[in-house]
Amino acid sequence: MNRIDAAFARLQAEGKRAFIPYIAAGVPGPDETVDLALLLAERGADVLELGYPFSDPMADGVVNQAAATRALENGVTDAAYFDMMRRIRAKSDIPLVVFSYLNPIARLGLRAFAEKAKAAGADGFLLVDMPVEEADEMLAICKELDLRFIFLAAPTTTPDRLAKILEQGSGFLYYISRTGITGEQSSFQQGFEEKLGAIKKASKIPVVVGFGVSTPEQVRAVCDLCDGAVVGSALVRRTLEDKPWASMRSELDALATALIAPAKEARA
């Protein structure tokens, strides 16, 4: 069984929800990325989204944009990215999702990138700017390689597009809590609960929520409504700070522990 599917099956059996962190590969450095990924897995993260840097991440806010720039400055190439993934996989069975924009993947070639990712230990892809209408080739490749392809759905997604996303997607559905870009927010968009409830009812795969989820209270609120929460900017912001890794790691450990706890509360 694909590790993503296995993780959600386990969580469902335990009555718990998924905690899915996003981190930027190569920030603050490759060794630190591997260490942070393993730390998150040890603290109870269920799936890890490993961000591949792109020079024009238009769906991201200032934090993730800065992280992408830093990663490129640090020399994160295909080879460096896959090396970090292999090193994580060598020490952990946490499901790994390639989180990227289409351009860097297409540059190497969809099949070539997917095959290298699979060999490095990847379990799925989330390509932010690949619409379901143009995903047939990538969907076929992922099916052949037993990789899951995760789509985004937004409050503005039309019923027809949502139906196709739910039909074609696998692993889990990533529901964006609000329109706009990534980043920490103090509240969810108006109508969020109603729209999420309708999507959850219609979906045959797990539904998780991200974009703006940044506090334990928000993780708990999301996990009361769906199958899990994605947290990115709140973690990534701290990897950009100018301080020794030991100090940064300690702060990330405390934050991750606090964020993960609400997802592990037993629910009916």
Predicted confidence (pLDDT) per residue in 61-108, tens digit: 789 889 999 999 999 999 999 999 999 999 999 999 999 999 999 999
Q: Would you call 26 helix, strand, or coil by DSSP?
A: coil
Averaged pLDDT score across all residues of the chain: 93
Q: Is 14 a catalytic residue?
A: no
Task: Give the global pTM.
Answer: 0.94
Residue 194 CB-density burial (10 A; 0-12 exposed, 13-18 middle, 19+ buried)? exposed
Q: What's the pLDDT at 177?
A: 77
Q: What's the pLDDT at 188?
A: 61
CA-CA distances (angstroms) from residue 131 to 31, 107, 160? 33, 18, 13
Mind listing the pLDDT tens digit for each residue in 126-165?
Answer: 999 999 999 999 999 999 999 999 999 988 899 999 999 9
Q: Is the pLDDT of residue 28 over 90?
A: yes
Q: Is the pLDDT of residue 186 over 70?
A: no
Q: Is 49 a catalytic residue?
A: yes
Of these residues, 5, 32, 46, 60, which one is catalytic?
Answer: 60
Task: Yes or no: say if 207 and 185 are a contact pair by the CB < 8 Å rule.
Answer: no
Of these residues, 49, 134, 137, 144, which one is catalytic?
Answer: 49
Please report the domains of the chain, with CATH numbers, ordered by start residue: 3-264 (3.20.20.70)
Residue 73 CB-density burial (10 A; 0-12 exposed, 13-18 middle, 19+ buried)? exposed
Per-residue tokens: 260: 């993960």
